[in-house]
Structure 1
Amino acid sequence: MSKLSEIDLGSTLLSTFILIGFIATAFVFVRLTIIGINYVKANYLKEEGEGRAEKITKSEKKGFN
C-alpha cells in the first residue's frame, strides 16, 4: 500500500507543477499583450506634430553614428 500513496503523491506534485506552468504561461501572454498595446498607443496613435518631430530627432542621435 505504501507504493500506491507514493504514486498518488508524485502524480499530485506533477499535476501541480504543470498547472503552475500553465498559469505562468498565461501570465506571460497577458503581460506581453499589455506591453504591445502600450507600445502601439505610444508610437502609432499620436498625431503628427511638434512632439513627434522632437522624438524623431532624439532617436536619430542614439546608436553608432
Structure 2
Amino acid sequence: MLKLSEIDLGSALLSTFILFGFIATAFVVVKLTIIGINYVKVNYLKEEGEEKVKKKNEDETKGFQSQ
C-alpha cells in the first residue's frame, strides 16, 4: 500500500475535482433532457388542444347562428 507521503496531494485534488466536474456535467445533461422532454410534451398537448377547440368551434357555427 502506498504511504500517505508518497501521494501527490495536488494530483489527487485535481483528479477529484475533474471527477466531480464529470458527475456535475452528467447531472446537467440529464436535467436539460428532462426539461426538453417536458417542453415538447406541453407544447404538443397545447397544439393538440387548440386543434380540438377550433374543430369544436367550427362544428358549432354550422346551422343556425345565434347572435
Instruction: Give your verdict on TM over 0.5.
Output: yes
Higher-RCO chain (CA-CA 8 Å, sequence separation at least 6)? 1
Letter paired with 1:48? G
- The total of aligned residue pairs comes to 51
Q: Which residue of 1 aligns with 2:29?
A: 14
**Cα shift readout 1:3-27 (whole Å, capped 9, x = no counterpart):** 1110000110111011100001000
Cα distance, 1:42 vs structure 2: 0.1
- Structure 2: gaps spanning 5 or more residues: 1-15
- Structure 1: gaps spanning 5 or more residues: 55-65
- TM-score under structure 1 normalisation? 0.69
What is the percentage of aligned positions where both structures have the same residue? 8
The alignment yields a C-alpha RMSD, in angstroms, of: 1.6
- TM-score under structure 2 normalisation? 0.67
Larger Rg: 1 or 2?
A: 2
Q: Which residue of 1 aligns with 2:19?
A: 4
2:26 pairs with 1:36:
no
Task: Show structure 1 runs of 4+ deviating over 3 A.
Answer: none
